[in-house]
A and B are shown apart, each in its own frame.
Chain A
Amino acid sequence: MTIFLTIAVIVLIFVVIFQIAKASEYVSVLKGEDISRKQNNKINGFLMLSFMILGMIGVWYCNKLYLGKTLLAVDSASVEGSRVDSMLWITIAVTGIVFIATQAILFWFAYKYQENENRKVYFFPHDNKLEVLWTIVPAIVLTVLVVIGLRNWFLFTGEPPKEAMVVEVTGRQFNWMFRYPGKDGAFGKKYYKNIDDAGNNSLGIIWEDPLSHDDIMYDKMVLVKGRPVKLIIGSRDVIHDVGLSHFRLKMDAVPGIPTTLWFTPKYTTKEMAELTHNPNFVYELSCDQMCGNGHYSMRGIIEVVDQEEYDVWMAKMKPQYLTANPDKDPENNKPAADSAKLAVKPSAAATKVAAKL
């Protein structure tokens, strides 16, 4: 019922507006088209100027309302991200000045040079000096922006520092899987046809490769504050994207073509919660490339901790090899029946976690 009422009201408003418009057309014909055209011209000239002034106030007000809700309100969570931020501010300044100047000129000219019987228009078809001026000035400004941009770009996409840790991130519809290389610092090989979700091998790791035996999988990405991390990014189905908004970086996850990204976390999750005054703060990994109907729910969690905490956590982790091959787990091969039972339970729990992944 309310729907029909709403529609009725909308139709009514339409009819009223239309009648007014029609009436004003009749009036203008009666008054003489030239006179009414000039009246309209005055009104619209005034509105042009008002629109510009109100618009500028709106820009300021919008900034006041929402700047605090953007990432620019707090420091970037990565060292590299701070470079993005400073570059953002430079670009905001440059484009902001041009924006205000050109919009002001546009609407001011519209107001100032509205039709006036006494004005003789200035026949001004071209001026090469002016053209050269506004070819060269933008070109110089853009060159500066390009230079700043490319320096950052080559840093971001270049080789990470040698001490960087490595984490493998793999996307699938609709969640993320994280793999750590373990003590040997190298990942075991994988092949997509080996993928076996029920068998705790959601990445298709080749267990015959001894490098895989200490690889660790976990449902969150755990990083160390101050230590550069290199992500090796892949996907096992469609294209996803590792979106790290707090770190100001992102990179696509493409099936069949591994990509990489590196950065240095600056604040632990706890520190960031204090900085943002949000006790529930978590670093979120968002999928930023349309990947299907569950795209919006493809959320990963990143925990940034200090080295000590990280070491404690890592020491507790059990290699995926043992979860996937329980018969190889030394804990399962103890002769005592009691302890074997005990050992099976946690590994069953781990299976569930892995299956959820």
Chain B
Amino acid sequence: MSNEAVLHAHSDVATHEGHGEHHEHHHHETFISKYVFSMDHKMIAKQFLITGMFWAVLGGLMSVLFRLQLGYPDSSFPILETLLGKWAKGGHITPEAYYALVTTHGTVLVFFVLTAGLSGTFANFLIPLQIGARDMASPFLNMLSYWFFFTASIVMLSSIFVETGPFSGGWTAYPPLSALGDASPGSKTGMDLWLVSMALFVVSSLLGGLNYIATILNMRTKGMSMTRLPLTIWALFFTAILGVLSFPVLFSGFILLIFDRNFGTSFYLSDIFISGVGALPNEGGSAILYQHLFWFLGHPEVYIILLPAMGMVSEILSVNSRKPIFGYMAMIGSLFAIAILAFLVWAHHMFVTGLNPFLGSIFVLLTLLIAVPSAIKVFNWLTTLWRGNIRFTPGMMFAIGFVSLFISGGLTGIWLGNSALDIHLHDTYFVIAHFHIVMGVASMFGMFAGIYHWFPKMYGRYLNNTLGYIHFWVTIAGAYLIFWPMHYEGLAGMPRRYYDYSIWESFKQFADLNRFISTVAMIVFAVQILFLFNFFYSIFKGRKVTSLNPWGANTLEWTTPLRPGHGNWVGEIPEVHRWAYDYGKDGKDFISQTTPVGADESHH
């Protein structure tokens, strides 16, 4: 698209916003249009972020509750009965409540926090700012994307208050357990609401994803070729593609499940006899079909969560090392390889379902292949630090923490991706340790890095540094203390999703360790609350940002005014002349993307 056409597209948007192209002040904005049904990508990003934070607190609190059961199975906590009523009779969390907590924790953290909260926030915030656009391709769809997510949140929240409880069959919702209300009380109304909520979430995610792709492809400013894009944008681009291609498959899986639950079909059901009910009429379905449909999203989902974190970490590492990212093209190539492979490895979650062993072997090969682009990324990050001049901003600390966690969790992926080891370790605590480190905590670290780094752009103020450092050190130490010993529980064969291990001769030797893990989990949770306090306090009372470009970064978002209005730039959108990583070139600390290439500049 030519620059004129881009500008024309922008002025279209701007006309909608009331001649915003030159000055936003003329435009009258009401509270509703500015803060609630906003079409400004920056406000929508904040909406995603704060809704994500709400869910992170709730999901984290749930993990504290079920860790309480795992760490202190013999103690009773009367306050739990006061708070939870029949779900914690006598101060003990009941098995029903335990499984509901585990399930909701998983669903909420994976989808609402690490998908909507992470990629929803930063795709919305960074794409227009870093490619040089006034807003998304369709601000209206963007607004809808948030409000579908909001509605999904409301439905999910309401499922917690249903009499039979929220869904409690694990976040993967495998039928027949999830299909049959008679098999588990959580699979009654709770599951209906879970499905409705997830369906709305899929819609939100598709509206967002299509918009991100359209924006990145069509609305880059003059001179911003694809190979001049910051790595954040590349990562968000691949994330959006993954989501758009895989969420519909999940949706189809859900539709079949809804049919099985409500309309008597047998897609997933066959040969089932429920004690107390009798034999069901369904025959000929395959419970494994659901798992294929689920994991066809489920595995790309891991990368939907991880890639934005990788992109932001690449950017933040480079900015704060005052050095270009090492191997820019290799970074894009490895993102691309990961995105392709993400679609070809889903059945490694299903090695022990009775999958055809030959098929399994293909998935082993493709799964372990992912380690190659992952290794490239890690070594490139390390080389980026090498001979740099590192500034330990809180964002940078979290970026370094991300690399550490990604290494630790990625390496155990090599164990689990090898089916002959998975046949032993599948569904044990080893798996919990693996995916919490590599996907959960690492992506959380990417998100924190992003929040600390772009907070000045979001709110024109800084977060408190000291609190940031406390937040980082307690969280990284805590994350390792919680999840590292879990590998050992897994190597003892300890299965996941057990309410109580005391009746098991083989798994009861870890009572002390479980108490330790639970205690650390509570401390880490408390520190996250401290972070949230820092966040909300700093929005209103934080130290004010005085320079336009506080980190000395090259990317376009730092060329906007301190508190950019809707439309981002006053006057013309700047033109881009170079890639985003000219740090330390020719003795200059940094050269903004908007600086024309000088005649005497060296080539690389």
Contact = CB atoms under 8 A, between A and B. Distances in A.
A296 B99 CA distance: 10
Interface stretch (B116-124, B143-151, B349-357): B349-357
B32 interface: no
Is the contact region of chain A dominated by helix, strand, or loop, or is it mixed?
helix
A268 interface: no
B387 A122 contact: yes
A225 B184 CA distance: 38
A274 B477 CA distance: 39
A38 B325 CA distance: 23
Interface stretch (A51-59, A205-213, A328-336, A341-349): A51-59
Contacts of B372: 135, 138-139, 142
B528 interface: no
Contacts of A113: 321, 385-390
B464 to A, nearest CB: 5
B404 A70 contact: no
B275 interface: yes
Contacts of A292: 99, 169, 177, 183-184
A116 interface: yes
Contacts of B586: 123
B183 A142 contact: no
A236 interface: yes
Contacts of B562: none
B473 A125 contact: no
- Range of interface residues on A (Cβ < 8 Å): 35 or more
Contact of A14 (B387, B390, B533, B543): B533
B336 interface: no
A237 B178 CA distance: 12
Contacts of A126: 326-330, 604
B488 A69 contact: yes
A106 B509 CA distance: 35
Contacts of A134: 375-376, 379
A116 B389 contact: yes
B287 A239 contact: yes
A288 B392 contact: no
B1 interface: no
Contacts of A192: 271-273, 279
A297 B503 contact: yes
B466 A296 contact: no
B424 to A, nearest CB: 4
Given A237-B183, A241-B352, A296-B499, A62 B388 contact: no
Interface stretch (A84-92, A180-188, A215-223, A304-312): A84-92
A288 B533 contact: no
A49 interface: no
A290 interface: yes
Contacts of B397: 44
Contacts of B371: 138, 142
A167 interface: no
A87 B421 contact: yes
Contacts of A106: 382, 385, 400, 403-404, 407
A24 B469 CA distance: 12
Contacts of A193: 273, 279
Contact of B506 (A10, A237, A284): A284
Given A41-B392, A256-B271, A290-B497, A71 B375 contact: no
Contacts of A58: 480-481, 484
Contact of A123 (B324, B360, B379, B477): B324
A103 B407 contact: yes
A239 B352 CA distance: 12
A256 B392 CA distance: 57
A110 B385 contact: yes
Nearest to B354: A259
A250 interface: yes
Interface in B499-550: 499-501, 503-507, 509-510, 513, 526, 529-530, 533-534, 537, 543
Given A121-B583, A280-B505, A290-B169, A251 B352 contact: yes
B480 A256 contact: no
B420 A115 contact: no
Contacts of A35: none
B495 A115 contact: no
A105 B380 CA distance: 12
Contact of B275 (A51, A138, A172, A255): A172
Interface string A293-332: 1111101000000000000000000000000000000000
B498 A243 contact: no
B391 A37 contact: yes
B492 A71 contact: yes
Contacts of A71: 491-493
Contact of A257 (B330, B354, B412, B466): B354
A205 to B, nearest CB: 13
A24 B468 CA distance: 12
B386 A109 contact: yes
B488 A62 contact: yes
B519 to A, nearest CB: 13
B407 A243 contact: no
Interface in B248-291: 269-275, 279, 283-288
A48 interface: yes
B540 to A, nearest CB: 14
Interface in A66-105: 66-67, 69-72, 81, 83-84, 87-88, 91, 94-95, 98-99, 102-103, 105
A124 B324 contact: yes
A284 B336 CA distance: 45
B170 interface: yes
Contacts of B325: 125
B328 to A, nearest CB: 7
Interface in B314-335: 321-330
Given A107-B404, A256-B287, A146 B365 contact: yes
27 contacts: A21-B464, A51-B477, A58-B484, A59-B484, A62-B488, A63-B488, A66-B510, A69-B510, A98-B411, A105-B382, A110-B390, A115-B390, A120-B587, A121-B389, A124-B324, A131-B376, A149-B421, A153-B364, A173-B274, A195-B279, A237-B183, A245-B493, A250-B423, A256-B269, A257-B270, A278-B505, A293-B184
Given A17-B470, A123-B604, 6 more contacts: A58-B484, A110-B390, A134-B375, A142-B368, A238-B177, A296-B498
Minimum-distance CB pairs A-B, first 9: A245-B493, A256-B270, A259-B354, A121-B584, A157-B357, A152-B420, A149-B418, A66-B488, A122-B387
Interface of A: 3, 10, 14, 17-18, 20-22, 24-25, 28-29, 37, 40-41, 44-45, 47-48, 51, 55, 58-59, 62-63, 66-67, 69-72, 81, 83-84, 87-88, 91, 94-95, 98-99, 102-103, 105-107, 109-110, 113-116, 119-127, 130-131, 134-135, 138-139, 142, 145-146, 148-150, 152-154, 156-158, 172-173, 192-193, 195, 197, 204, 233, 236-239, 241, 243, 245-246, 248-252, 254-260, 278, 280-282, 284, 286-297, 299
Interface of B: 79, 95-96, 99, 168-170, 174, 176-177, 180, 183-186, 269-275, 279, 283-288, 321-330, 352-354, 357, 360-361, 364-365, 368-369, 371-372, 375-376, 378-380, 382-383, 385-392, 397, 400, 403-404, 407-408, 411-412, 414-415, 418-421, 423-424, 426-428, 464-467, 469-470, 473, 476-477, 480-481, 484-485, 488, 491-493, 495-501, 503-507, 509-510, 513, 526, 529-530, 533-534, 537, 543, 581, 583-587, 604
